[in-house]
Structures are given as structure tokens and as C-alpha cells.
Structure 1
């Protein structure tokens, strides 16, 4: 029996949305009717394409294979229509998810080789780790940028690429920060703007304070690098932050950096999903970054 491509298209839509109810509403179908269409496709292929985890739909291994073929099939159909209508488009898309709290300067630096290309459109989304990894699992994003590796889940074939490591510094306004002042004295005398508890940087800072027998005054705890940058500029306290976050302020002299480093590093990761049909732009970007890191 030949494959029913209507069933395949319905599956394709649900797989990219990751939500049966939302897809049914978008396609103006009842949820039960959409479920029947997908069930018929599963019966034809002889494999379950989705599994439920709580209220969420996740692709099975067979589902990921089916989606890879569906992407190729419907992409070829779009190219056929575009070619025969004379409107062929050569632009390619790269969908990137990034933690809402991640440094914008770092994101731009990593994506710069792709952002400068006229034949590539970058779709950049931000969110929580759970939201981004869900988008990766449903193939709504091709790549996720994080400052911590994803949880080890044998059900989800994540590929985690370490793409950067940066020293964290103490920065503050010229009126507040004497650069040559010893680190312990700064911890004793100045209020601090810190990442929230649970982050790797905050854990390392707390361990440092303990070794120095200091209990710093905490002016603010934030998980958003843009907010940390703003609070440092407003002279709320000294900020524990990677210099790339406040590059413009350091260059202009609005903020300055302590001479003694806390010897804390922040690590950055690019997380992908093992796919049969990966986006070639992802591999190109990772290879470019690896080459530039090696040369530097």
C-alpha cells in the first residue's frame, strides 16, 4: 500500500510544533481527527512515531527518522514549486536557541561567521534550559547555546560541544573599584552583584569566599547577564562577570576590572541532537569555531 502523504504532512506539522492540540487548532482540525491520521501513518510504517512524557510528545527513534525524510520530502516540494514559478530562494535557515541569561556579546561572537553571510537567515530564540532542550528534541531549533551541559538523559541523544571558556572578573565603577586592591579586601568592603545560587560560577565564588574566610555583602543576585551589566553600570556594587559581557563599558572606562582575578571560569556549550539529517550549517559553524580556537 503506498504511503499517504496527507498523513505524513500531519505528522510533520505535529513533530515541528511538539504539541498535538496547538497543531490541530492551527490546521483547523479536531484533536481526535489529527490523532487518527497519525495513528494510520504509524500503522502503515509499523512503528510508533511519538511517545508521551507527561503532557509532552517526544519523537521516538523511528519518529526522528520519519521526520528527517518528511523534511527532505516537503523541502523538495517547496523547491519544485519555487523553481517552476521562478522564485527559487537560495537562503538557508539556522535556528538557534540560547539561554535567556547568556551574554549577548558571546552569542554574537559565536554566530558572527554565519551572521555575516547573505545566504543565511538566523532565527535566534531565547528561553529556559527546559524550553530550549524541548525545542531541540522537537527539532524546532538546530542548536542550543548554554553555559552548563544538559542533564545526562539516555532517552535523548544530545551531543554537547564545549565551545568556549572564559575567565570571570570582578568589575565596577571607577568610584567604587580600586583595581590594585587585594581581592580579600574587596570582598570585605564592597557589596557584590552575583549570579544566582546553583550556577557553576556562583558555586566557585562561594567556595572562594569560604577559603578566604569572608562573608561578602550581596547587593543583588541575578541570572540575567544584561541585568548584571546594568546594575554594575548603575554602581549598585561590584559584579562577578566575564569581561565579554561588559566589553563596551570596559573600553569606554565606565567600568574597570580588578587586577587580582578570582580564578573562576565560565564554560560555554553548544548542544545539538543526533539527527539523520542534521542542518549542515550547524556542523559548518562548529568546525569554523574549532578552527578559529585552534589558531588563536
Structure 2
């Protein structure tokens, strides 16, 4: 029966954490050549390549990502054991790495990830970046899941899978001054009213512009933003009406700071969970995707 050399595993773990052989060698106080030998021996023992060696960079293979996850669990458990013996309670044992596009609603992210966030045995690591950056990380197996408000196309060059996990209605959101008026009339009451809108790169905005053209209304634009967090702030600061999924300003609606004036039934925002086909998927994904 094969036995794992935990010194080799520790060296591999350091390489991944530090990013390069040079940095890992300095961290572990060994020569770079010695570290390379240790890594090669670990790969021979496991009978698989842990890195794709491209030019001078090291990129984890899927097997490498799985081994790293196990290594992290092993070394974290050791740290927890020491902490417990010293009366300091350890907490996390499993890790789920999530990427979220920068424009995505934080409230939606928290709602979707609630099953794992509430699990005290799980650590959730959330990275925010552009879609292209996140898909690159998904391909490199450094994250397990991408959350986005648009799907990605699958073709022969990738193994991405987009699952529709939620759909939110789009509403016109206003402050107390609009709530106090007579019943809001759409689209008449949008004339000459300052509006906070997503930028034209947004599908929501494109559909809204078409709707306004059909009704013969030209919105008076006070501000535009491509980030939902910024749209939330603008909705609170500007005396106008905002085009948003209510989930973005959920707290403000509950507190009576903002009001849902009118839902637009023909407009909605879709939320997708994007994964990639893997031989060793993170089992925590089952809690979120119901696979």
C-alpha cells in the first residue's frame, strides 16, 4: 500500500501558497533544486501530474487542485488540534471558493451562499473580478464556482456549465417623496424625473431603453453605474427613481428608506451559477446546486 510522504505534501502546499518554486524554497528554507526533486517524488508517488508546466509558470492540474484541497484540510486539522490542546477552538474544516462578477448584487450572493455560510464547518472564500478573470480561475481550478448575471456559452473549447439559480423582477425604486404622491402611474410619472440606471452594457438597461422607446418616454438620466453596490448608494443619495432588482436595496425597503413603486413584468435579472466539468468536483457544491 502506498504511503504519503507528508514532507513532500507540505512542500507542494507551500509551492501553491507562495506561487513559485523560488518563493516556496525561501519560505521552507531549502534549495529550489531540492524542492523540485521533492515535488517530482510526490507526483511519482501519486502517479499524476500536479502542475501544468507552461513556460516558467506553474498551473495546477485538476488533480493538483484536489490534492491541494486535501492538503489544506490535513494541515488545517493539525492546526485545529494544536489550538484545541491550547484551549483555542478551531472552527473551519472545508473550503468553498466562489468567484462573483463585480457587478453582482451582494444581497443575492449572501442569499445564495447562505447554506454554506451558515455551516460552521465550512469556510467560504469569495473573489470579485471580471467575468474573463473568473473564468480563467475556474479553468485553472483555483475557484469552484462563478456567480454571474449572464450565462456563458459552452463550445468545444470549454466545459463550462451555466445553471439558472434565481430570477429577480426589476422594479422602479423611489424615496418617500414618491410614495406620498398619488398611486404611481407608469410610464407617465417617469417624465422629467431624475433616474438612476444601469449602464448601457447591462441587459436590464437595454430592455428598459426599448420599453421607454415603445412608450415614447425619454428618461432624464441623473446617474449611471455598472456596479449594483454603487447603484444602491446612488438610489439612496439621489432624489429620483432607480431601475433595480428589489433584492439590491432589500435593507432600505425593509427600513422604509426606499419604496418599490412599480414592478416591470417584462424585465427581469437572471442569476447563474457557472461551474466546469471536473473529475473531482467540490462536494460542497451539492448544497447549493442540488445536484
Please tell me the TM-score bracket, short chain as reference.
Answer: 0.7 to 0.9
> Which of 183-192 and 236-245 deviates more?
183-192
Out of 212, 215, 220, the residue aligned to residue 217 of structure 1 is 220
**Partner secondary structure for residue 63 of structure 2:** helix
Distance (Å, rounded) in 1 between the aligned partners of 2:115 and 2:251: 21
Aligned equivalent of 1:146: 148
TM-score between the two structures when normalised by the length of structure 2: 0.75
**Contact kept in structure 1, 2:172 and 2:260, CA below 8 Å:** yes
**Contact kept in structure 1, 2:99 and 2:134, CA below 8 Å:** yes
> Which of 150-159 and 80-89 deviates more?
80-89
Measured against aligned partners, the alpha-carbon deviations of 1:238-259 in whole angstroms (never above 9, x if no partner) come to 1100111112222232211223
Aligned equivalent of 1:293: none
Out of 66, 86, 96, the residue aligned to residue 98 of structure 2 is 96
**Contact kept in structure 1, 2:170 and 2:244, CA below 8 Å:** yes
Q: 1:214 to 1:56 in 2, by over 3 A?
A: farther
Distance (Å, rounded) in 1 between the aligned partners of 2:109 and 2:255: 21
Structure 2 unaligned segments of length 5 or more: list them: none
**Partner secondary structure for residue 251 of structure 2:** helix
TM-score between the two structures when normalised by the length of structure 1: 0.74
Out of 124, 129, 132, the residue aligned to residue 130 of structure 1 is 132
Structure 1 unaligned segments of length 5 or more: list them: 291-296
**CA-CA distance at 1:194 after TM superposition:** 0.9
Aligned equivalent of 1:110: 112
Q: 1:258 to 1:38 in 2, by over 3 A?
A: farther
Q: 1:183 to 1:76 in 2, by over 3 A?
A: same
**CA-CA distance at 1:210 after TM superposition:** 2.1
**Contact kept in structure 2, 1:225 and 1:245, CA below 8 Å:** yes
Aligned equivalent of 2:185: 182
